[in-house]
Amino acid sequence: MPTVNPRRWWALLVLATAQFMVIMDTSIIGVALPEMQRELGFSQNELQWVFNAYVIAFGGLLLLGGRLSDLLGARKVFNTGWVVLIAGSVVAAAAQTAWVEVVGRAVQGVGGALIAPAAMTLLMVLFAHDPKELGKAMALYGAAAPAGGTAGVFLGGVFTEWLSWPWIFIIYVPIGVATLAAAKLLPAVEPRRGRVDVLGAASVTAGLALAVFAIVRAEHVGWGAGATVLQLVGAAALLVLFFVIQKSVGQPLMPLGIWRVPRLGSANLAMALLGAAWIPMWYFLNLYLQQVLGYGAFASGAALLPMTVLLMIFMTAITAKLLAKFGAKRLIGGGLLVLAAGLLWLSAVGPTGSFAVDVLPASLVAALGMSLAYIPAMMAAMSGAPQEQAGLASGIVNTTYQVGSALGLAALTALAASQGAGQLGNLPALTDGFSAAFLGAAAIAATGGLATLLVMRGDKAAAAVQQADAPQSRGEQIGV
């Protein structure tokens, strides 16, 4: 019988805080972007690299982080990730030019890619003894991600308005040091023997980065330009190479057999489209509040605080109950469709709009959709995986969410720019661009919702497959 760690709930607090901070790092820069743009010289279209540099490094290296966690020991990799994240935060805070800022953000992403999978491994070790405790721990840990993403918007406004934008990165230094001190609460996990798939990690990360770069640049050089075509073809070739490597090497970063896990593919599709709709929403909503409605950084962050409250309430107290009653398929599909409805509402924003009428109700509807879909999608992706592959399944679903976020933001930024979002000071043109981005995000979310309802197996069907294939699967242990 597995040993019960008496300090497991305190350890969970450390892990949930780490998850909160890692995901917050993708959003805390949101309200600071206009200020960073003025001081560091970013163009309106290039500004997204402050976000994408982090997400590409984070999403592209998550699988490698998971593998290193297995080979070196999860607690050691968790601690190393925080050291890297602190270093990247110092570089980002001290940046005086745009390219140094992007480098600092990329280093932060590398740190996050080490922290997140190691934290998931440690969570599984702490709570594997009791399916009910594991389900509760997963719900609390899962809620930390979207809560961190939305809370970052508010906290970014606080730091930017009352201090200065570098403080959104400086804050990670004391928190990182405190987390490293608290890491003694985490269990020591024995490393396993094996090798690192360096070529696989390099090919997938380079392919994702090149794809985002091509989409970002296409607005300037043209979608049919030779450079754009070559970059997109190169990105596709690198991603194909990644799958070839995974099939041919003895110890791949992502064993392709994992995709036989029931609902892993459909849950990952839902997560990719969820990220592609949700992250662009808060990105453009921040720009709309500041560049069109004239909000300051703090007011912009405070305007989105109701979303944070709603997310926390639903994810910690309501979503799990709804999941037990309606099942993952209905909740994911329905949540994505609700998110699409909120985004469609937001697409009606005008140059003379108001927060109470144009932003608040629509943003709450969107947040409701996110809170319904996120944790069920995460649980569905992991529920059928055997215990020894739970960390890999978690790494894959986190990767697809981050990749979807980066590609979605790149594509919708190009769409917004084509409709006038690059014309600073021209409120009608800016609003048209932001409206187009919201409409595009609504289409992405609606596609994800419909695809989930049409493609994903229902809970009973998935459970039957799991029972036939692996009687001791994760799905039976956590009851999804």
Closest CA to 474 of 67, 71, 124: 124
Report the alpha-carbon distance of residue 209 to residue 269 in Å, rounded.
20
The alpha-helical segments, DSSP class H, found in 95-225 are 98-127, 131-162, 167-170, 172-182, 198-221
Report the alpha-carbon distance of residue 175 to residue 164 in Å, rounded.
18
Encoded amino acid at 281, one letter: M
The alpha-helical segments, DSSP class H, found in 222-350 are 226-248, 264-287, 297-303, 305-313, 319-326, 328-346
Report the alpha-carbon distance of residue 346 to residue 357 in Å, rounded.
10
pLDDT on residue 470: 47
Tell me how crowded residue 220 is: count the other CB atoms within 10 A of its CB: 14
How far apart, in Å, are the Cα atoms of 426 and each of 31, 236, 362, 374?
20, 37, 24, 36
Closest CA to 359 of 280, 297, 289, 435: 289
How far apart, in Å, are the Cα atoms of 170 and each of 55, 156, 428?
19, 12, 36
Q: What six digits make up the tokens of 436?
A: 């187009």
pLDDT on residue 472: 41
* pLDDT tens digits in sequence order for the chain, 480 residues long: 456 767 788 888 888 888 888 777 767 777 787 888 888 878 766 777 787 788 778 877 877 887 788 778 888 898 999 999 999 999 999 988 888 999 999 999 899 888 888 887 788 777 766 677 776 777 777 667 766 766 777 777 788 878 888 998 998 899 889 989 888 888 777 777 767 778 888 888 788 778 877 877 776 777 778 888 998 999 899 989 988 998 888 778 777 777 777 778 888 899 999 989 998 888 888 888 888 888 877 787 788 788 878 877 887 778 878 888 888 889 999 999 999 999 999 998 888 888 888 889 999 999 999 989 988 888 888 776 666 666 677 778 877 887 788 788 878 888 888 887 766 667 888 888 999 999 999 999 999 999 999 988 765 555 444 444 444 433 333 333
Report the alpha-carbon distance of residue 281 to residue 368 in Å, rounded.
14
pLDDT on residue 468: 44
DSSP conformation class of 51: H
